[in-house]
Amino acid sequence: MKMLEVICNWELDCSAQVGLWNYWDAEHIKTIHPGYGETSILYDTKDFVVMLPTVSLPIFSFLTSTSIHVMLRHDENTLLLYNMGLFGTPIHAILSVTEPRKDHAVFKMTYRYQLKGWRIIMAPFLKVMTPIWNRKIWIEDLPIKKRRQQVLRMGFKNFKGLPDKIEDRFN
């Protein structure tokens, strides 16, 4: 068995809370990320979710694959993700989001692939493709992260929206 680890880092002017919200928001996946189909949520609490996302395979987009995706909140700044990737490859990902200064988040994504048998030959491909895939997803998510940060700065509250009086909104 071979363990392959790939680390991707990003920074963005948003709060850590916004960054973590984006990863937990399964409803945006089909709308924002081309290549993803329906995502069925089997179980969901504030700290644990089990999903079945459908993904079109790279290059051969007419082929789709559904995998199980488990995510749990390890602590206030860390999410642990477990899923079965391409060809049944187990993946353990760690997402750490820190906020070294107000509304500036640092994201560290560590992907660990457990490669057995013939899947070991996928290591060089995964080492190159993981950062490319991560960058693609990051860029697709930027507008919703920025927008959520903007409305939070204006006083938005979940299930309430923005304050009714414009003078009560701040930015």
Mean pLDDT for the stretch of residues 138-166? 84
Kindly tell me the sign of the dihedral angle through the C-alpha atoms of 59, 93, 30, 162: negative
Phi-psi sector, 88: left (phi>0), alpha (psi -120 to 50), beta: left
Q: Judge whether residue 159 has pLDDT over 90.
A: no
Q: Give CA angle at 116 (61, 35), nearest 5°.
A: 15
Query: The tokens of 30 are what?
Result: 């089909």
Q: Judge whether residue 169 has pLDDT over 80.
A: no
Give the Cβ contact number of residue 130 at 10 Å: 21
The DSSP result for 137-166, as a single string, is HHHHHHHHHHHHHHHHHTT-BTTTBS-SSG
Q: Give CA angle at 108 (137, 4), nearest 5°.
A: 85
Residues 19, 12: contact at Cβ < 8 Å? yes
**What percentage of the chain has pLDDT greater than the value 90?**
61
pLDDT at site 50: 96
pLDDT at site 11: 97
Mean pLDDT for the stretch of residues 61-77? 89
Query: The tokens of 51 are what?
Result: 């999903």
pLDDT at site 171: 66
Task: Kindly give, in sequence order, each residue whose CB lies less than 8 Å from that of residue 136, ignoring residues fewer than 6 positions away.
Answer: none
Mean pLDDT for the stretch of residues 166-171? 71
pLDDT (tens digit per residue) in 89-114:
999 999 999 999 999 999 999 999 99
Task: List residues bridging with 153 in a β-sheet.
Answer: none
CA distance 49 to 71: 5
CA distance 105 to 149: 11
pLDDT (tens digit per residue) in 12-36:
999 999 999 998 887 788 788 887 8
CB neighbour class for 64 (10 Å; exposed up to 12, middle 13-18, buried from 19) = middle
Q: Judge whether residue 88 has pLDDT over 90.
A: no
Mean pLDDT score across all residues of the chain? 89
Higher-pLDDT residue of 169 and 140 is 140
